[in-house]
Structure 1
Amino acid sequence: MNKKVYLFAIASFVVGAAELILGGILDLIADALRVPLSKAGLLISIFSLVYAVSAPVVLTATAKVERKKVYMWSLVVFLLSNILAAASMNYTMLFLSRILAAASGSSIIILSTTLAARIVKPEYQGRAIGVVFMGISASLVLGIPLGIYIGNNLGWREVFAVIAILTGIIIAVMWFTMDRMQPTVPLPLKQQLKAVRGSKMVAIHLTTLFVLAGHLTLYAYFTPFLQETFGLSSNMVMLVYGIFGIAAVAGGGLGGVISDKWNPAGAVVAVISLFLISMAVLPLAVNLPFAAFLVLMIVWSALSWAVSAVQNNLIIHSSPENSEILISTNSAITHLGISIGSYVGGLVIQGSSVLYNGWAGSIFVLLGLICSLFAVTRQDSISSQAESSLKA
């Protein structure tokens, strides 16, 4: 397999870290900029919201532009966004930097995935895409604990400075090693959207929206949750995030195994049901010994990533001919859910206590479970419906 695939994985790692890292240093940013924690949480919401809507727009607008040029410009904008974040003297500057980082980062992730598949032989395309997503997964395992460590020992600005330095290195390496690649002809955005019109696919996308919103209602504020409930030090919080990340990556693999062992419909319902139970019980577990809480958290974390695996497998099973388009729109819905969840989580904290975020999130997950039950009982052929829509 072409070794350059690993460069795309590294770029994806850096972008993933920039997105996820904020959850671990949110309290530091709120204190430094003298804003409520709920307002600081909007920095997560806006990143996910912009990420969700910008990638199809940007990539469609640049569809006829040579891909290395688009990739390099995306990296440059991402670099500038993190420099702006590190230099931010107020909340507004940091908010703007998150918008720029999300718009450019979404393009980098999607291009890393598609270009990695293009530079290898057909029999290695799946493996190449897997390597890129390993980079994203690694950002969860390493990015947040590293961000907490740097933030608490050097400062939150230095977190973005490190990301900017890593991005600069990637730009230099990519400039000299990445080959020019002409664009492929993409489907128009209007036709891509037509593929999600079936009631089953709408329900699948709504499932993703509600489950991710529910998860982020608590996860976006997990640092203050741990500090308020257990009084953990910053080093202990960093350790907990590391455990969470390892469990999450393992959960993604578990979701794939479950999807292969069971039928996709049964796997989705089972995983979301267990995820709902784990999330609803988590706030009660603060009264248990910390070791018992960790065990439940590991289950919650693993299931949070297993959901994505089983959902994508259900999409592929439901509409194999249009799976790439539909997984792309499902990814956009994912980030919309993240944006909604982090916003609602801030409202819960503002109105009551972070202790209740888990239960507020459980309401979203319950709605997701209802949507999944509706989706798996639909017998309409999404494959033929989307295919006829695309031909229209």
Structure 2
Amino acid sequence: MNIKVLVLTIAAFTVGLVELIIGGVLPQIAADLGVSVSTAGQLITAYALVYAVSGPTLLALTSKIERRKLYLLSLVVFILGALLAFWSPNFGVLLISRFVTAASGSLITTLSLTIAVKVVPENFRARVIGIVSMGISSAIVLGVPLGVLAADKLGWRILFLFIAVFALLAMFVIYKLMEPIQPQQVMPLRQQLASLKNTKVAGAHLVTLLLLAGHYTLYAYFTPFLENVMHLSASWISIVYFFFGLAAVAGGMIGGVMSDSLGAKKSILIVVGVFALSLFILPFTASMIPLFAILVFVWGALSWALSPAQQSYLIEAAPETSEIQQSFNFSALQVGIAAGSAIGGVVISRAPSVTYNAWVGGIIVVIAFGVALYTFSRKTSTRRSGEQGKKNGSKLEPNFGGD
């Protein structure tokens, strides 16, 4: 593996840990800082919302900064945020640290993807996106188990110290090995936001949002499903989550290889279609453990298999704003997580069984499949962008409304 891609993957993994690891230590944080568990849970919500908003905004505001320098600066801010969490004397300070790590983490994740595709041949682009995405999804495997282990052995604060050290090591290697990377053609924030007027671009982000919303309608409440429907003990529940995480890690690579082999559009349709089918079928396998294990693996793998194909598609659909589109897509992912968790909460409180969460989630993913079909059927005209480029004499302005 390209050493630069490996380091970028490790950095993405570290950022993923900061977001996901909180879930494993919420009771300990609540007890230590004197707040309720539900209040401590706002640390997850705050991170997701700040991440969703800050990613596109910061990427646009820093569009003139050389990318290696920006990456290093983002890592410095991220490290300071992690150290602030380690030191935090009260809940307010810890909440501020979440704002800092979310904002810097959104830049690190997006830059990891955009830099990675520039240091490998074009025919490996989707595969490299899958590798970096695998770094993020690896945090699913280790996040909660590490959180629980730290709470039992070392306390929750030490986690953030470890994360700061990992990020510092990644920063040092990037400083030594990575050459300066000039930013793409500078584009005003208004034009970058105007790219969402393109149906093909906006539709891609909506597919991501809907798939993650459908996913988290069940996944956010998967423990009640395992407890109440399958009657599993805590140890078996941990095993299921670990197995799901392994599948998610594999999914990033599978999605990259699939996109390189079949193309982004076909891969997206396959992933979204099979994902919806797996959610509808999953509740019926609760009494058949081998089949249930297969469905959990498929579900887990597909939860991250979409990312490489989606990112590759966005690069093809909007090459002039590829960085901002990847940031928008991660924002859509975070909004989908928040929406799915909220929808799942309504379903589980009103439906007779948590199995309905899977079916409602499946319906949402079916809508995502319909949006993908509609999006891919649209044609993008480049005529107006070419005319605009001639009008300007030198720079080619992108066409954002060519649908």
What is the TM-score of this pair, normalised by structure 2? 0.78
* Conservation of the 8 A alpha-carbon contact between 2:82 and 2:160: yes
**Bigger Cα displacement from structure 2, 138-147 vs 312-321:** 312-321
* Conservation of the 8 A alpha-carbon contact between 1:75 and 1:167: yes
Change (3 A) 1:259 1:66: closer
The residue that corresponds to 2:272 in the other structure is 272
* Conservation of the 8 A alpha-carbon contact between 1:18 and 1:163: yes
The residue that corresponds to 2:392 in the other structure is none
CA deviation string 1:310-348 (max 9, x = no partner) = 434544565567655544432332222223223444455
- Tell me how far 1:224 sits from its aligned partner: 5.0
The residue that corresponds to 2:156 in the other structure is 156
Mapping of residues 53-92 of structure 1, within 5 Å: 53-65=53-65, 67-88=67-88, 91-92=91-92
CA distance in 1, matches of 2:230, 2:155: 24
* Conservation of the 8 A alpha-carbon contact between 1:194 and 1:386: no
CA distance in 2, matches of 1:225, 1:81: 35
Change (3 A) 1:383 1:142: farther
The residue that corresponds to 1:390 in the other structure is 398
**Bigger Cα displacement from structure 2, 186-195 vs 323-332:** 323-332
Q: Which amino acid aligns with 1:206?
A: L
CA distance in 2, matches of 1:130, 1:276: 21
Matched position secondary structure for 1:186: coil
The residue that corresponds to 1:341 in the other structure is 340
- Tell me how far 1:211 sits from its aligned partner: 1.0
The residue that corresponds to 1:98 in the other structure is 98
Change (3 A) 1:62 1:229: same
Change (3 A) 1:367 1:152: farther
What is the TM-score of this pair, normalised by structure 1? 0.80
Matched position secondary structure for 2:3: coil
CA distance in 2, matches of 1:14, 1:156: 16
* Conservation of the 8 A alpha-carbon contact between 1:213 and 1:340: yes
Is 1:3 paired with 2:11?
no
The residue that corresponds to 1:108 in the other structure is 108
- Tell me how far 1:210 sits from its aligned partner: 1.0
Q: Which amino acid aligns with 2:199?
A: S
The residue that corresponds to 1:196 in the other structure is 196
The residue that corresponds to 2:281 in the other structure is 281
CA distance in 2, matches of 1:154, 1:237: 23
* Conservation of the 8 A alpha-carbon contact between 2:17 and 2:143: yes
The residue that corresponds to 2:394 in the other structure is none
* Conservation of the 8 A alpha-carbon contact between 1:195 and 1:325: no
**Bigger Cα displacement from structure 2, 356-365 vs 298-307:** 356-365
The residue that corresponds to 2:12 in the other structure is 12
CA distance in 2, matches of 1:260, 1:170: 28
**Bigger Cα displacement from structure 2, 192-201 vs 151-160:** 151-160
The residue that corresponds to 2:36 in the other structure is 35
CA distance in 2, matches of 1:68, 1:320: 20
Mapping of residues 131-146 of structure 1, within 5 Å: 131-146=131-146
- Tell me how far 1:349 sits from its aligned partner: 5.2
* Conservation of the 8 A alpha-carbon contact between 2:130 and 2:308: no
The residue that corresponds to 1:240 in the other structure is 240
- Tell me how far 1:203 sits from its aligned partner: 2.5
The residue that corresponds to 1:48 in the other structure is 48
CA distance in 2, matches of 1:115, 1:265: 23
CA distance in 1, matches of 2:64, 2:316: 31
CA distance in 1, matches of 2:146, 2:94: 20
Change (3 A) 1:312 1:184: closer
* Conservation of the 8 A alpha-carbon contact between 2:272 and 2:306: yes
- Tell me how far 1:117 sits from its aligned partner: 5.3
* Conservation of the 8 A alpha-carbon contact between 1:212 and 1:334: yes
Gaps of 5+ in 2: 389-396
* Conservation of the 8 A alpha-carbon contact between 1:52 and 1:332: yes
- Tell me how far 1:233 sits from its aligned partner: 5.2
* Conservation of the 8 A alpha-carbon contact between 1:208 and 1:333: yes
The residue that corresponds to 1:301 in the other structure is 300
CA distance in 2, matches of 1:381, 1:123: 22
**Bigger Cα displacement from structure 2, 241-250 vs 348-357:** 348-357
Change (3 A) 1:165 1:185: same
* Conservation of the 8 A alpha-carbon contact between 1:194 and 1:390: no
CA deviation string 1:103-131 (max 9, x = no partner) = 0111122233444556x476798476665
Change (3 A) 1:214 1:53: same
The residue that corresponds to 2:255 in the other structure is 255
* Conservation of the 8 A alpha-carbon contact between 1:41 and 1:343: no
CA distance in 1, matches of 2:265, 2:27: 40
The residue that corresponds to 1:226 in the other structure is 226
CA distance in 2, matches of 1:368, 1:125: 27
Gaps of 5+ in 1: none
**Bigger Cα displacement from structure 2, 166-175 vs 277-286:** 166-175
The residue that corresponds to 2:364 in the other structure is 364
CA deviation string 1:178-223 (max 9, x = no partner) = 6666655532222222233233433332221111112123323434
- Tell me how far 1:14 sits from its aligned partner: 0.6
Q: Which amino acid aligns with 2:299?
A: W
* Conservation of the 8 A alpha-carbon contact between 2:134 and 2:252: no
**Bigger Cα displacement from structure 2, 155-164 vs 84-93:** 84-93
Q: Which amino acid aligns with 2:45?
A: S
Q: Report percent identity of matched pairs.
A: 43
**Bigger Cα displacement from structure 2, 211-220 vs 247-256:** 247-256
